[in-house]
Amino acid sequence: MGLIQNVLAVIVVLGLLITFHEFGHYWVARRCGVRVLRFSVGFGKAIWSRTDRHGTEFVVAAIPLGGYVKMLDEREAPVPDDQLHETFNRKTVWQRIAIVAAGPLANFLLAIVAYWALFVAGTTTVAPVVGEVAPDSPAARSGLQSGQEIVSVQGNAVRSWDEINLRLIAHIGASGELTIDARDDAGSSAQEYRLPVENYLVRQDPPQPLATLGITPWQPRIPAVLGQVLDGQAAAEAGLQPGDEVLAVNGAPIGEWMDFVSVVRANPGETLELEVQRDGEPLTVTLTPGSRELETGGAIGYVGAGVEPVEWPEEFRREIRYGPVAALGQAVSRTGEMTVLTLDAIRKMLVGLISPTNLSGPITIAQMAGDTARTGLETFVSFMAYLSISLAVLNLLPIPVLDGGHLLYYFVEAVRGRPVSERAQALGLRIGLAMVGTLMLMALYFDLMRLW
């Protein structure tokens, strides 16, 4: 069931993002007087098609991992004299720039609309209250204490752990001090704490911004009750079911969910005897965690099970809601922040501050889409907005075969007054295909490593 949900979720997400992207190209091309021959969502054999009164064939293809808009162009096929004015290649360079840039801009617009809807509807989060501070950690050396609520990071106001993580990740590679403002309670004034860091989060896979500082978020007691069990994984094969509460492992009592997680992680491939309570009745279950190799060496265990959510105390809940006008400003601001964060992550990956193993391909995207869909509409929409921004940014990179590569050629043409030579474009195409193909293979490889 989990696999089916993942597949459906990724089809919905990618289908929507690709449709918006290609519609951006299509809409501006039509406004510029270009004849559009085909609008395709997906590649391969068509599973549905329809031709409109303008002669454009709309297609949904079998492989939903991309799409394209095919325009009338003399470089691809002979064009009748009476249609030459509708060809893409005969439009001005600025019209061609507008048509190519419209795809990524449509993805930015989709992200803004998604964030706007979230801010208008209101999002519920939990207050970023510090649970534990690890001894001799940067947080401990700064004087930060358990029970304090973090209100800003590096001078930027924060209201949730998600916002804190985003602010901290933006400082990957930093050395010196990170500034955090925190208060003892809602009625007290905030104090500044300076946390010493050296090569912060460099090459961590995945980055752990809070744990590296020695901060553990506060959370209510979470009993070891299973909320979900993934098909085909160790927990399902052992017969565990949602609602089961783990009371003991190999005779040792389990007080909370993280106690169970710690035991599982420490025993990859080892047979464990679980004392479980199901519908008020005791039960003994034999469980053998799977093994997942770590990049740093060694392995950890996993069983393919998630915890049952618990209710947070009302005083720890925060609702973020704006009016329609204010929400638009917040949505544009959030989209800008995520765009800068994505560009900065690419730069840091190129210079070696971020491990390339953080690259994600279709398998990881499918898993994340499924997980966020199961979590709720709010999380799913937020994930879709971020993925839309990532798609826009990647397409704007100056790599031939991507929109950014075409824009590079057209801007050069605008400056020089004549197009880039066909030979140079052909060479760039081969280089671009090699770069994009290599990145896709790397992402798929790291996906499979995570899966195994």
Integer Rg of the chain from CA: 26
DSSP state of 354: S
DSSP state of 316: G
**Would you say 276 and 247 are in contact if contact means Cβ atoms under 8 Å apart?**
yes
Burial 408-439 (b: 16+ CB within 10 A, else e): bbbeeeeeeeeeeeeeebeebeeebeebbeee
**Given the residues 22, 86, 245, 275, the one annotated as active site:** 22
**Would you say 179 and 197 are in contact if contact means Cβ atoms under 8 Å apart?**
no
- Gap between the Cα atoms of 226 and 309, Å rounded: 9
Alpha helices in 305-452 (DSSP H): 324-350, 362-375, 377-395, 403-416, 422-451
Active-site residue, 22 included: yes
DSSP state of 56: P
- Gap between the Cα atoms of 130 and 116, Å rounded: 29
Strand bridging mode 176-183 / 299-302: unpaired
- Gap between the Cα atoms of 235 and 145, Å rounded: 37
CB-count burial class (<10 Å; 0-12, 13-18, 19+) for 228 = middle
Strand bridging mode 156-157 / 281-287: unpaired
The letter for the amino acid at 101 is: A
Residue 62's H or E segment, with its range, is: strand 57-71
Torsion from C-alpha of 377, 256, 450, 391, nearest 10 degrees: 30
Alpha helices in 122-217 (DSSP H): 138-142, 161-169, 209-213
The letter for the amino acid at 298 is: G
Residue 421's H or E segment, with its range, is: none
271 Cβ partners below 8 Å, 6+ apart?
Answer: 286, 287, 288
Distances from the Cα of 437 to the Cα of 421, 431, 434, 443, angstroms: 24, 10, 5, 10
- Gap between the Cα atoms of 97 and 420, Å rounded: 14
User: Which residues are identified as catalytic?
Assistant: 22
